């Protein structure tokens, strides 16, 4: 308490020493002055400030909009360029694969080009040796087979190189890749000798067509497999497939046969892309036309097909509905049926029920051995 009292005394002493403030105004004057200041209006903000703020906001929005549009445009252009690059790459890949079947325009009036006949199949009665070559179709989906007769005593693989000219200049397709491969026969095995890196740059599609081409070409032979070698070493690198040593040959693929029109040849036969468990399913697939992959039904309109399997070697097709005439379409249909039967391991075919007994050189009243191979090129030697 004493300390507080001393402090209070000290404070009073200090206050007495402060200078005296003299205001000569009376209380009424001070009151009027304060009251006058209370009624003064507050200082106004400039009227142009909101307008200026709005203009600045608009300018800022415009700048940001241009920046955003340019950024989006750049992104769209980059995305479009990447899409075009991918599409170009895919098209380039497809062109590389489909190169062997590039269609060429030939005038049918040009007498300097002799177009050889192509018949639907090679009959079992033919004893001449033959070789089947394949070329990739323009969509890189089918390995289209072409069968050539080889003269007696002539090596079929050495002879195949001369068929390159036939494919290119007379059939209107590029040479089969098989003509550039070095095959050697070793019993029921074929040895394919490659050079280092020969197939290493293949894309997935090219590798797939390489394998499919070999399997389809030797589908009609007695060879069980193709062995790949790089020089003297077993195995070869085939693009994205990696190292491969063997390609197994499946002789009975359980497929139906449909038409594949090419240039002036409207009735080439190719096996369907799909395999089937039952032959009636494969025969039904023969009726399908698919423009997207370039195939046409091999069954004439209005023709129905009944199937009777006598045993594991014999089969009978009974035709009903529309008559199968002795025309190119009719002959192609009969051979497509017989090739389909071959693909299901049947050896003999009988065709009944048609109102015309003779189609081409076939008497339908008799049983016939299945064909050896499709699409025989006549007069190629």
Rounded to the nearest 5°, which phi and psi values hold at 98? Answer: -80, 0
Shared-domain flag, residues 218 and 284:
no
Domain end (from 187, 219, 248): 248
Whether 149 is in a domain gets the answer: yes
Say whether pTM exceeds 0.75. Answer: no
pLDDT of residue 108 exceeding 60, the answer is: no
Contact at 8 Å (CB) between 304 and 321?
yes
How far, in Å, CA of 360 to CA of 140, rounded?
33
pLDDT of residue 250 exceeding 80, the answer is: yes
Domain end (from 229, 248, 267): 248
pLDDT of residue 29 exceeding 80, the answer is: no
What pLDDT sits at residue 37? 54
Whether 166 is in a domain gets the answer: yes
What pLDDT sits at residue 72? 56
What pLDDT sits at residue 258? 97
Whether 353 is in a domain gets the answer: yes
What pLDDT sits at residue 109? 31
Greater pLDDT, 358 or 15: 358
Tell me the range of 7-11, 25-29, 174-178, 214-218 where mean pLDDT is highest. Answer: 214-218
pLDDT of residue 63 exceeding 80, the answer is: no
How far, in Å, CA of 9 to CA of 24, rounded?
30
Least confident of 7-16, 59-68, 204-213, 243-252: 59-68
Shared-domain flag, residues 204 and 179:
yes
Rounded to the nearest 5°, which phi and psi values hold at 349? Answer: -130, 135
Q: What is the CA radius of gyration of the chain?
A: 45
- Domain housing 237: 118-248
pLDDT of residue 235 exceeding 50, the answer is: yes
How far, in Å, CA of 192 to CA of 179, rounded?
12
Identify which of 119, 138, 159 has the alpha carbon closest to the alpha carbon of residue 334.
119
Domain end (from 194, 218, 248): 248
Shared-domain flag, residues 227 and 272:
no
What pLDDT sits at residue 264? 77
Give CA separation, 252 vs 45, 256, 343, in Å: 96, 11, 5
Whether 100 is in a domain gets the answer: no
What pLDDT sits at residue 161? 72
CB-based burial, 329-364: b 16+ in 10 Å, e otherwise:
bbbbbbbbbbbbbbbbebebbbbebbeeeebbebeb
Whether 224 is in a domain gets the answer: yes
What pLDDT sits at residue 28? 59
Contact at 8 Å (CB) between 96 and 116?
no
Whether 277 is in a domain gets the answer: yes
Shared-domain flag, residues 236 and 273:
no
Identify which of 261, 253, 249, 238 has the alpha carbon closest to the alpha carbon of residue 144.
261
Whether 158 is in a domain gets the answer: yes
Least confident of 91-100, 139-148, 189-198, 350-359: 91-100
Q: For residue range 67-93, list pLDDT tens digits in order.
A: 655 555 555 555 555 555 444 444 544
Shared-domain flag, residues 134 and 242:
yes
- How many domains would you assign to the chain? 2
Q: For residue range 254-269, list pLDDT tens digits in order.
A: 999 999 988 778 889 9
Sign of CA dihedral 121, 127, 128, 134: positive
Shared-domain flag, residues 214 and 282:
no
Whether 34 is in a domain gets the answer: no
How far, in Å, CA of 78 to CA of 234, rounded?
46
Rounded to the nearest 5°, which phi and psi values hold at 185? Answer: -85, 130
Greater pLDDT, 7 or 113: 7
pLDDT of residue 349 exceeding 70, the answer is: yes
Contact at 8 Å (CB) between 337 and 349?
yes
């Amino acid at each position: 308490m004493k300390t507080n009292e001393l402090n209070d005394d000290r404070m009073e002493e200090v206050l007495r020493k402060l200078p005296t403030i003299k205001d000569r105004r009376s209380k009424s004057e001070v009151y009027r002055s304060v009251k006058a200041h209370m009624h003064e209006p507050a200082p106004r903000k400039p009227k142009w400030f909101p307008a200026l703020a709005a203009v600045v906001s608009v300018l800022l929005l415009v700048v940001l909009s241009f920046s955003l549009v340019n950024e989006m445009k750049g992104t769209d252009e980059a995305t479009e360029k990447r899409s075009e690059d991918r599409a170009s790459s895919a098209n380039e890949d497809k062109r590389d694969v489909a190169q062997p079947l590039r269609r060429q325009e030939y005038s049918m009036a040009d007498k300097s080009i002799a177009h050889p006949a192509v018949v639907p199949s090679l009959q079992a009665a033919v004893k001449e040796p033959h070789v089947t070559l394949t070329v990739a179709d323009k969509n890189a989906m089918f390995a289209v087979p072409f069968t050539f007769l080889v003269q007696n005593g002539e090596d079929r693989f050495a002879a195949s190189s001369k068929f390159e000219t036939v494919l290119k200049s007379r059939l209107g397709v590029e040479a089969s890749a098989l003509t550039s491969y070095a095959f050697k026969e070793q019993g029921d095995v074929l040895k394919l000798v490659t050079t280092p890196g020969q197939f290493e740059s293949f894309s997935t599609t090219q590798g797939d067509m390489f394998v499919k081409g070999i399997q389809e070409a030797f589908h009609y032979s007695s060879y069980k497999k193709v062995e790949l070698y790089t020089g003297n070493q077993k195995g070869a690198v085939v693009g994205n497939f990696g190292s491969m040593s063997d390609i197994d040959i499946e002789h009975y693929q359980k497929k139906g046969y449909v038409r594949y029109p090419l240039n002036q040849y409207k009735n080439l036969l190719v096996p369907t892309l799909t395999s089937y468990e039952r032959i009636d399913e494969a025969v039904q697939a023969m009726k399908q036309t698919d423009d997207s992959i370039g195939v046409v039904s091999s069954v004439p309109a209005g023709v129905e097909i009944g199937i009777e399997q006598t045993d594991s070697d014999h089969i009978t097709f009974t035709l009903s509905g529309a008559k199968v005439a002795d025309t190119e379409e009719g002959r192609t249909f009969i051979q497509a049926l017989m090739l389909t039967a071959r693909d299901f391991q049947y050896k003999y075919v009988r065709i009944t029920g048609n109102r015309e007994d003779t189609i081409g050189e076939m008497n339908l009243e008799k049983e016939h051995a299945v064909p050896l191979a499709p699409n025989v090129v006549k007069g190629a030697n």
